[in-house]
Amino acid sequence: MRAVIQRTKNASVTVEGKLISEIESGLLILIGIENEDTQEDIEWLSRKITGLRIFNDENEVMNKSITDVEGDIIVVSQFTLHASTKKGNRPSYLKAAKPDVSIPLYEAFVAQVEKDLGKKVGTGIFGADMKVQLLNDGPVTIIIDTKNKE
């Protein structure tokens, strides 16, 4: 699994002009799933994200996690995170899992984040043409890949 985590002042997901999810201060997580991903990847990544100390404390030092600040999360599936640009100018998405594999893993990841966060998270609509909007706070953007655990 590959995740792009963005600390936000606010974020939203719209599909066909309809607001699907919206949060204030929190995290927007773009998640890419590949065929080799497992429940272990889901659990490790969720714990890592909910434990990341990327929110400011009273001294304006990034020392608090999303759970510490009681922030909200939106999780959006994004197969393009597994784009390969090695050959030519048209990206290849061969590493990205097909929907029959990725949908159950995406849903399991959302459920795990909700468990670790202790509340419901927002989502997009899998496979839809989504419009994702955010005001990146900082900006703070972190990329994590479960295959290399960094």
Alpha carbon distance 150, 141 (integer Å): 14
Domain coverage including residue 46: 2-145
DSSP 24: S
Q: What is the mean pLDDT of the chain?
A: 95
Alpha carbon distance 15, 132 (integer Å): 9
Q: pLDDT tens across 36-70, in order?
A: 999 999 999 999 999 999 999 999 999 999 999 99
Q: What is the pTM of this model?
A: 0.94
The two structure tokens encoding residue 83: 């784009």
Domain containing residue 104: CATH number: 3.50.80.10
> What amino acid occupies position 94?
L
Residue 84 in domain: yes
pLDDT of 100 reads 94
Q: Looking at the annotation, which residues are catalytic?
A: 80
Alpha carbon distance 150, 145 (integer Å): 6
